[in-house]
Amino acid sequence: MISLFGKPEKVQKAEPSLLERLKASVTKTKAALAETVDNIFLGQKQIDPAALKHLETALLSADLGVKTTREILDSVRGKLERNALSDTAQLKREIKSHVTRILQSANGAERVLGAANGDREPRVIFIVGVNGAGKTTSIGKLANRLRQQDLKVVLCAADTFRAAAIEQLEIWAKRNGVEIIKQKSGSDPAAVVFDAMSAAKARNADVVLVDTAGRLHTKSNLMAELEKMKRTAAKVIPGAPHDVLLVMDATTGQNGLAQAREFTGAVGVTGIVLTKLDGTAKGGVVVAISRELGLPVRYVGVGEKAADLLPFDSQEFVDSLFE
């Protein structure tokens, strides 16, 4: 495009849609699942039952989980016996239908995180997970998303034990223009939570995001500490925490699922933030989470930028894998 002054004007490139970004983030998982299915049955006019062993490997490699894989194979075998399934297109539709049912069952009750409570108390969201999963970074990205919704956000630096955790959260607070409540390293996390709840009420904040410790080598102490923090929050803001989001690294697959079970049993997780979805062929762990834990995936991380935390849409996720 040429301007009035003869110089080419810069054409503003349209931002990719959420669906386009999700599609780009699951390319490795799609290759491990849908494209592998195509290759297994390439050139076959009919589905050979013997090839189902290769299909089982493909489903497990994408980390759909043992239970989901078994259910899909049982359904496929049943339809083959009834001559109700004859080609690869029908096979992929069968897998897609099964995955869709699982995800929609767990993710059916979608709601907006950060929405104000009826009595105008701040909504308190605890962020939990093991070190290295991307917990603090996810808090920064979530704060960015909530600020874009014109919500007043307060960050609580209650991970007082990990080296540089407080400093890392401070960087995100400055970047997003939000307040952070902190104490010195090694302080009692529950005391930081108390200060943050009190400050959020006094400042009429909409949301408090609480960063928590994630030390796996002291699991029993960690879970007891999280329970103490929850009780402290509820004393200041009745009903808090309103959400407990577990941050999971998609690349850890089934190991991450084992961690999720521990946190879910101990602290009442209400949803999942799945990070590093763009760097793994194991994105099927989304299905395993929904099937085996019954937990909704609220957000997925698809990159390093502040805007690279996307609300999870189960239908768009399935479409991205199979279309």
Express each pLDDT in 164-203 by its tens digit: 999 999 999 999 999 999 999 999 999 999 999 999 999 9
3-state DSSP assignment of residue 156: strand
| pLDDT, greater one: 12 or 125 | 125
Read off the pLDDT of each residue in 47-62 and give the average, rounded to a whole number.
85
The answer for residues whose C-beta is within 8 angstroms of residue 288's C-beta and 6 or more apart is 63, 64, 65, 67, 68, 254, 257
Place 242 in a pLDDT band, splitting at 50, 70 and 90.
very high
Residue 292: per-residue pLDDT: 85
Q: What is the mean pLDDT of residues 88-99?
A: 89
- Average pLDDT along the chain: 86
Q: Is the pLDDT of residue 36 over 60?
A: yes
Residue 159 has a pLDDT of 94
Query: pLDDT-based confidence at 219, cuts 50/70/90?
Result: low
Confidence of residue 90 (pLDDT cuts 50, 70, 90): confident
Taking alpha carbons only, the member of 139, 131, 71, 81 closest to residue 291 is: 71
Distance between CA atoms of residues 69 and 288, nearest Å: 9
- 243 or 111: which leads in pLDDT: 243
pLDDT of residue 3: 41
Q: Which pLDDT score, from 0 to 100, does residue 190 have?
A: 96
The vertex-263 CA angle with 70 and 273, nearest 5°, equals: 75
What tokens appear for 162 in the block?
Answer: 């990990």
Mean pLDDT of all residues in 20-46: 81
Asked if 282 and 309 count as a contact pair (C-beta separation under 8 A), the reply is no
Q: State how far the alpha carbon of 97 is from the alpha carbons of 92, 100, 138, 239, in Å.
A: 8, 5, 31, 37
Q: What is the pLDDT of residues 245-266, one digit of tens each?
A: 999 998 887 778 888 888 888 7
pLDDT of residue 198: 98
* pLDDT value for 13: 55
> pLDDT at residue 125 above 90?
yes
Could you give the CA distance from residue 219 to residue 226 in angstroms, rounded to a whole number?
Answer: 11
Q: What is the pLDDT of residue 11?
A: 46
Q: Of 83, 110, 31, 74, whose CA–CA distance to 280 is shortest? A: 31
Of the two residues 212 and 262, the one the predictor is more confident about is 212
Please tell me the least confidently modeled range out of 52-61, 200-209, 230-239: 52-61
CA dihedral 248, 250, 256, 259 (to 10 degrees): 10
